[in-house]
Structure 1
Amino acid sequence: MSGQVVVITGANTGIGKVNATLFARLGAKVVMGCRDMAKAHIAAEDIRRLVTDADVEVLKLDLSSLGSVRQFAKECGERVQHIDLLVNNAGLMFCPNWRTEDGFEMQFGTNHLGHFLLTLLLMDELKSAPKARIINVSSIAHMTGEINFDDINSNQSYNKYRAYYQSKLANVLFTRELASRLTGTQVTAYSLHPGLVNTGLWKYMSGCLKLLDIIFKSITNIGPELGAQTTHYCALEPSIANESGFYYKFVFI
Structure 2
Amino acid sequence: MLLEALVALVALVLAFRVYYRVNSGRCHSQTSLVGKTAIITGGSAGIGKYTAKDLVRRGARVILACRNLEKACKVAAEIRESPGSVGEVVVRHLDTSDLASVRKFAEQILQTETAIHILINNAGILGPKEKQLTKDGLELTMVTNHFGHFLLTNLLLGLLKKSAPSRVINVSSSAHSQPKKLDPDSLNFEHDKYSVMAAYGQSKLCNVLFTQELAVKLSGSGVTANSVHPGAVNTGILDAHPLSFLICAIKIMFLAVSKDSELGAQTSIYVAVAEEVDGVSGRYFVDCKEAEPSQLAQQRQLAQQLWKSSEVAVKLQPHEKHY
Match of 1:70 in 2: 103
Of stretches 201-210 and 185-194 in structure 1, the one that deviates more from structure 2 is 201-210
Equivalent residues of 1:47, 1:54 under 8 A apart: no
Match of 2:30 in 1: none
- Map 1:91-106 to 2 at 5 A: 91-96=124-129, 97-106=131-140
State which of 140, 149, 156 in structure 1 corresponds to 2:184: 149
2: CA distance between counterparts of 1:148 and 1:200?
A: 30
Unmatched segments (≥5 aa) in structure 1: none
Cα deviations by residue, 1:102-131 (Å, 9 ceiling, x for unpaired)? 110001111000000000000111011131
Say how many residue pairs are matched: 251
CA gap of 1:52–1:138, structure 2 versus 1, over 3 A, is closer
Equivalent residues of 2:238, 2:251 under 8 A apart: no
The amino acid across from 2:124 in the alignment is G
Note if 1:198 corresponds to 2:234.
yes
State which of 134, 152, 165 in structure 2 corresponds to 1:118: 152
The amino acid across from 2:137 in the alignment is G
Offset of residue 52 of structure 1: 5.1
In the superposition, the TM-score normalised over structure 2's length comes to 0.74
Note if 1:240 corresponds to 2:277.
yes
Find the residue that maps to 1:243 and give its secondary structure. Answer: coil
Using the aligned pairs only, state the percent identity. Answer: 42
- Map 1:1-253 to 2 at 5 A: 1-50=33-82, 51=84, 53-96=86-129, 97-145=131-179, 146-156=181-191, 157-203=193-239, 204=241, 207-250=244-287
- CA-atom RMSD in angstroms: 1.7
Of stretches 6-15 and 92-101 in structure 1, the one that deviates more from structure 2 is 92-101
Equivalent residues of 2:164, 2:221 under 8 A apart: no
Find the residue that maps to 1:92 and give its secondary structure. Answer: coil
Offset of residue 202 of structure 1: 2.1
**Runs of 4 or more consecutive aligned structure 1 residues displaced over 6 Å after TM superposition:** none
Equivalent residues of 1:82, 1:127 under 8 A apart: no
Unmatched segments (≥5 aa) in structure 2: 1-32, 289-323
Offset of residue 155 of structure 1: 3.4
Of stretches 93-102 and 201-210 in structure 1, the one that deviates more from structure 2 is 201-210
Structure exhibiting the larger radius of gyration computed from Cα positions: 2
The amino acid across from 2:58 in the alignment is L
The amino acid across from 1:179 in the alignment is A
Find the residue that maps to 1:201 and give its secondary structure. Answer: coil
The amino acid across from 2:255 in the alignment is S
The amino acid across from 1:158 in the alignment is Y
Higher relative contact order (CA 8 A, sep 6+): 2
